Amino acid sequence: MAAPNPAPKIFVKKNIGADVQAKIEQLQNICYSKGMTEEQVLYTLALVDHESAGTYSTTIKGDKGCSVGIAQWNKCVGRIAGKDFEAQSHQICDEMKAKYDKWALLTAITKHNCPRCTYRAVYVNKILSAIPNFN
């Protein structure tokens, strides 16, 4: 008889409140439900942590108001973020799962920010700098 698969790792962000941790766990569960590996989930968490400035707000704006949401979809080019956290979580998990299936991990991260690029060290290093926030 085969051993049961262990439960996937739940990453915990350091020094945050229970409300933000609950959002992080919801995002992870959605990403796992899409078939992501633990490493892919961690990199997606780091991407969202960086893009949302650690707030996990669905309304946070960047790029002088042109980008919005937990993954900073660029509304100025028609990439519209879902209305609530669950919808935005499904969007980012679907997007990143498709990219992880097609490209290597760091290329997939780059493609979120620059779909035409194969690798952007400056952007990838910003994402990688968020990984130590999770254990």
Share of the chain above pLDDT 90, in %: 79
The predicted-structure confidence for 54-113, as pLDDT tens digits, reads as follows: 889 999 999 888 999 999 988 888 888 999 999 999 999 999 999 999 999 999 999 999
- pTM of the predicted model, to two decimals? 0.92
User: Which runs of consecutive H residues, i.e. helices, occur in 36-115?
Assistant: 38-51, 85-102, 105-113
Closest residue by Cα to residue 52 from 18, 13, 99: 13
Closest residue by Cα to residue 112 from 132, 130, 91: 91
Closest residue by Cα to residue 70 from 38, 33, 23, 35: 23
Burial class (CB in 10 A: 0-12, 13-18, 19+), 112: buried
